[in-house]
């Protein structure tokens, strides 16, 4: 890491080169140190993981079309356990946690900051390969015995009972943890030391603030997961005894350790999404963001408070009443900064000239879905209701509203938003909007019924159900397939744009952040000369220029010539 030294190479890149065309061949990608290429590789990787996890989810939902044991002949109760475990583990560890920071963040952070790269490019590449290795471990577990512990690996089931390859999966998660730590560490250092002159902390776009807050959680929380998983593996392999009551250990200690990481981890998932939304709402309302400092500081507040509430996952585990009450109170406090953000976004839109481009459609979906998810979190954080709702579909619906309705939707919004920058191509706006509409409707169809059946007592992770729940399950299954279709449509729109899309101008949306000052796609070194740093949300600083079909800086010689946009090949 600290050894990121390499021979200086100062040959000037040819102006028509962008990061995609600067060099060719497999190796030029496999050993690249360019944050943009690493971001793109991460993007492909995480999307593959999501596709896999999504397929598993569809099988799960299909099984629930009826309450009979064998709706799908190959899904036995054992297979069912494996399906939901792998779905959860893949989605959490391989997709959601790395998706926004490592894929979009890697690409955008240095450009937005005005830096040439992240501070430790080799560590960045290493992080990607760790991700690959972790993924291989997961796939091995999947192909050998599967995994049936639930994504939470609760002891003593995972150590004493499960017949599957728990150790393999734990090591996979352990390695993925390091991948995540490397990304976080890199981002913190980059933001601290690589800001160009003029880029003060309070001129940083909010996406960077949110990545910074995320990185803090990644660095502080993930090592605890690492040690927990090591202990778990040692427990299972050698019978260490720390989590085994028979040997004097305590299985609830495992839960404490696990949630000490995993609650902050839910903020690893949502904070970057909130950052994206701040960018999207401001850009497409053509208004400066309302309450910049509040949003920035609320990210930090979430990062810190997030460490204090893990006990709300264990209200029924027999922890002392006093502790339970304290955790409940703290849980309520953590929702305050989230609410602050929502109000600020709404205030930003107020009297703005809202442009319903695809990213904005996703951002609006986010607002709606995340709000529901966050509010139902309060139901769960309240002691009396949680005793009833714990481990029911209500919890499932809650975390899907925040993780999928929040993070995934924001991720797709961000992907549409930065797609022209990343690929140099514009996608088809109409079909993009349609995809967002389908995703929004289908999402609610899938998960809203789960709130209802959960509150009526349908337990989560059950293979069968009573007839009275059938209608909700069927609705949910229909929604799930529709949702799958919506996401597929979004993917198709993006992929088609690679071949058919118009060439993207430098700044198609009229945003004022730095990444729009360089060409689309950016040149290898991001900026030929250090960019001018201004207020990131001053929408008046750019004007539409019909000649280049792009926004350009007002009264300014364009820093980057748009004609120079290279042909994408």
> Residues with Cβ < 8 Å from 368, sequence gap 6 or more?
405, 440
Look at the block and give the residue holding tokens 């107020």: 350
3-state class (DSSP) for residue 503 = strand
Decide if residue 322 touches other proteins (CB under 8 A).
no
Look at the block and give the residue holding tokens 């499960």: 162
Q: Both tokens of residue 360?
A: 């904005």
Q: What is the DSSP letter of 310?
A: G
| Cα–Cα distance measured from residue 268 to residue 210, given in angstroms and rounded to the nearest whole number | 9
Binding mask 345-384 for ligand HEM (x = CB under 6 A): -----------------------------x--xx-xx---
- Residue 399 binds: one of other proteins, Cu ion, ligand HEM, none (C-beta under 5 to 8 A by kind): ligand HEM
> Residues with Cβ < 8 Å from 555, sequence gap 6 or more?
none
Q: What is the 3-state secondary structure (H, E, C) of 330-355?
A: HHHHHHHHHHHHHHHHHHHHCCCCCC
- Residue 550 binds: one of other proteins, ligand HEM, Cu ion, none (C-beta under 5 to 8 A by kind): none
Minimum CB distance to other proteins smaller for 6 or for 557: 6
67 phi, psi to nearest 5 deg: -85, 0
Whole-number minimum distance, CB 148 to Cu ion, in Å? 23
- Residue 222 binds: one of ligand HEM, other proteins, Cu ion, none (C-beta under 5 to 8 A by kind): other proteins
> Residues with Cβ < 8 Å from 500, sequence gap 6 or more?
428
Q: Both tokens of residue 425?
A: 């191509």
Decide if residue 6 touches other proteins (CB under 8 A).
yes
For residue 482, cis peptide bond before it (omega within 30 degrees of 0)? no
Burial label, 350 (beta-carbon count in 10 A; 0-12, 13-18, 19+):
exposed
* Residues in 249-308 that interact with Cu ion by CB under 5 A: 263
Return the number of other C-beta atoms located less than 10 Å from residue 406's C-beta: 29
Decide if residue 331 touches ligand HEM (CB under 6 A).
yes
- Residue 152 binds: one of ligand HEM, Cu ion, other proteins, none (C-beta under 5 to 8 A by kind): ligand HEM
- Residue 380 binds: one of other proteins, ligand HEM, Cu ion, none (C-beta under 5 to 8 A by kind): ligand HEM
Minimum CB distance to ligand HEM smaller for 263 or for 425: 263
Whole-number minimum distance, CB 167 to other proteins, in Å? 5
Whole-number minimum distance, CB 44 to other proteins, in Å? 24
- Residue 378 binds: one of other proteins, ligand HEM, Cu ion, none (C-beta under 5 to 8 A by kind): ligand HEM
- Of 127-135, 231-239, 392-400, 479-487, the window that binds ligand HEM (rule: CB under 6 A) is 392-400
Whole-number minimum distance, CB 195 to other proteins, in Å? 10
Q: What is the DSSP letter of 392?
A: B
Minimum CB distance to ligand HEM smaller for 313 or for 473: 313
Decide if residue 351 touches other proteins (CB under 8 A).
no
Beta bridge partners of 459: 392
Decide if residue 399 touches ligand HEM (CB under 6 A).
yes
Decide if residue 527 touches other proteins (CB under 8 A).
no
Q: Both tokens of residue 257?
A: 């350790």
Minimum CB distance to ligand HEM smaller for 281 or for 514: 281
> In the bound complex, which residue of the shown chain has the CB atom lying closest to Cu ion?
263
For residue 521, cis peptide bond before it (omega within 30 degrees of 0)? yes
3-state class (DSSP) for residue 13 = coil
* Residues in 126-185 that interact with other proteins by CB under 8 A: 145, 159-167, 181, 185
Q: What is the 3-state secondary structure (H, E, C) of 398-459?
A: HHHHHHHHHHHHHHHHHHHHHHHHHHCECCCHHHHHHHHHHHHHHHHHHHHHHHHHHHCCCE
Using CB under 5 A, list all residues that contact Cu ion: 263
Using CB under 8 A, list all residues that contact other proteins: 1-10, 115-117, 119-121, 123, 145, 159-167, 181, 185-186, 188-190, 192-194, 219-224, 226-228, 230-231, 234-242, 244, 246-250, 253, 257, 525
Using CB under 6 A, list all residues that contact ligand HEM: 152, 266, 269-270, 312-313, 331, 334-335, 338, 374, 377-378, 380-381, 386, 390, 395, 398-399, 402-403, 406-407
């Amino acid at each position: 890491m600290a050894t990121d030294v390499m021979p200086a190479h100062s040959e000037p890149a040819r102006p028509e080169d962008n990061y995609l065309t600067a060099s060719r061949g497999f190796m030029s990608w496999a050993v690249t140190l360019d944050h943009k290429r690493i971001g793109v590789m991460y993007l492909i990787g995480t999307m593959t993981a999501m596709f896999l996890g999504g397929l598993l989810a569809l099988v799960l939902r299909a099984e629930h079309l009826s309450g009979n044991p064998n709706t799908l002949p190959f899904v036995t109760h054992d297979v069912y356990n494996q399906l939901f475990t792998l779905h959860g583990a893949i989605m959490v560890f391989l997709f959601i946690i790395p998706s926004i920071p490592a894929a979009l963040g890697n690409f955008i952070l240095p450009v937005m900051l005005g830096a040439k790269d992240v501070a430790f490019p080799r560590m960045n590449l290493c992080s990607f390969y760790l991700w690959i290795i972790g993924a291989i471990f997961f796939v091995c577990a999947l192909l050998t015995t599967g995994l049936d512990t639930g994504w939470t690996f609760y002891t003593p089931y995972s150590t004493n009972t499960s017949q599957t390859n728990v150790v393999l999966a734990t090591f996979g998660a352990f390695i993925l943890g390091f991948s995540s730590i490397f990304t976080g560490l890199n981002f913190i250092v980059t933001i601290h030391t690589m800001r160009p002159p003029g880029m003060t902390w309070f001129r940083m776009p909010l996406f960077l603030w949110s990545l910074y807050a995320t990185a803090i959680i990644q660095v502080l929380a993930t090592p605890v997961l690492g040690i927990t998983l090591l202990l778990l593996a040692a427990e299972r392999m050698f019978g260490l005894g720390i989590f085994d009551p028979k040997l004097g250990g305590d299985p609830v200690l495992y839960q404490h350790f696990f949630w000490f990481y995993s609650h902050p981890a839910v903020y690893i998932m949502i904070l970057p999404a909130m950052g994206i939304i701040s960018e999207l709402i401001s850009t497409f309302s053509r208004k400066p963001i309302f309450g910049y400092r509040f949003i920035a500081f609320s990210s930090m507040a979430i990062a810190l408070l997030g460490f204090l509430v893990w006990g709300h996952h264990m209200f029924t585990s027999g922890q002392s009443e006093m502790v339970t009450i304290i955790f409940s109170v703290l849980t309520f406090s953590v929702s305050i900064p989230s609410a602050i953000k929502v109000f600020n976004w709404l205030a930003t839109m107020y009297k703005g000239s809202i442009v319903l481009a695809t990213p904005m459609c996703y951002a609006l979906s986010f607002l709606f879905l995340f709000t529901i998810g966050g509010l139902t979190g309060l139901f769960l954080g309240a002691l009396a209701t949680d005793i009833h709702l714990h481990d029911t579909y209500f919890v499932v619906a809650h975390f899907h509203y925040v993780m999928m309705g929040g993070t995934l939707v924001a991720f797709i919004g961000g992907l549409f938003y930065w797609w022209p920058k990343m690929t140099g191509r514009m996608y088809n706006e109409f079909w993009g909007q349609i995809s967002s509409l389908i995703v929004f409707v289908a999402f609610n169809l899938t998960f809203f019924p789960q709130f209802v059946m959960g509150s009526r007592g349908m337990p989560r992770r059950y293979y069968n159900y009573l007839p009275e729940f059938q209608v909700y399950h069927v609705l949910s299954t229909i929604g799930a397939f529709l949702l799958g279709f919506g996401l597929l449509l979004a993917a198709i729109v993006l992929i088609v744009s690679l071949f058919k899309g118009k060439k993207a101008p430098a700044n198609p949306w009229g945003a004022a952040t730095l990444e729009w000052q360089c060409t689309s796609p950016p040149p290898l070194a991001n900026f030929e000369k250090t960019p001018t740093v201004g207020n990131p949300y001053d929408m008046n600083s750019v004007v539409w220029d019909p000649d280049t079909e792009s926004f350009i800086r007002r009264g300014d010689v364009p820093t980057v010539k748009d004609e120079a946009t290279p042909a994408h090949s």
